[in-house]
Amino acid sequence: MTPDAEMMSGKRQAAAEPEGEGAPKAATAESREYRPAEGRARKGMDYVAPTAHEGGAGASIEGATPQDLAAARRAEASSAAIDRSSYETITDVGRLAQWIEAARDHGLVAFDTETSGIDPMTADLVGVSLAIEPGLAAYVPLGHLSAAGDLLSEPGQGLGGLVEGQIPAAEALTLLKELLEDASVLKVGQGIKFDLTIMSRLGISVAPYDDTMLMSYALDSGLGAQGLDELSRRHLGHAPITYDEVTGTGRARVGFAQVSIEKATAYAAEDADLAIRLWRLSRRGSSPSA
**Buried b / exposed e along 145-160 (16+ C-beta atoms within 10 A):** bbeeeeeebeeeeebb
pLDDT of res. 61: 53
- The pLDDT, as a whole number, for residue 147 is 77
Q: What is the DSSP letter of 85?
A: G
Report the number of secondary-structure helices (H) and strands (E) in the chain.
8, 8
In terms of DSSP bridges, do strands 136-141 and 145-147 run parallel, antiparallel, or are they unpaired?
A: unpaired
Alpha-carbon distance 273 to 276, whole Å?
5
Give SS3 for 216: helix
The DSSP output letter for 257 is G
Backbone φ, ψ for residue 278 (5° rounding): -65, -35
- Which residues of the chain fall below pLDDT 70? 1-63, 66-67, 69-79, 148-159, 221-229, 284-290
- Helices within the chain (DSSP H only): 66-79, 93-106, 169-180, 193-201, 212-220, 228-231, 243-247, 261-282
Q: Return the pLDDT at 46.
A: 37
Q: Report pLDDT for 217.
A: 75
The tens digit of pLDDT for each residue in 142-168 reads 999 997 655 444 444 456 799 999 999
User: What residues contact 34, with CB distance under 8 A and at least 6 apart?
Assistant: 107, 183, 184, 185, 186, 208
Q: What is the pLDDT of residue 18?
A: 43
Q: Kindly list the domain boundaries of the chain, sorted by start residue.
A: 67-282
What was the pLDDT predicted at 216? 73
Length of the chain, in residues? 290
Q: What is the pLDDT of residue 69?
A: 66
The candidate with the shortest Cα–Cα distance to 231, out of 276, 196, 194, is 276
- 67-282 homologous superfamily: Ribonuclease H-like superfamily/Ribonuclease H (3.30.420.10)
Predicted confidence at residue 237, as pLDDT, reads 81
Rounded to whole angstroms, the Cα distance separating 232 from 206 reads 25
State the amino acid at position 125 in one-letter form. L
Query: CB-side exposure of 237: number of CA atoms within 13 Å?
Result: 6
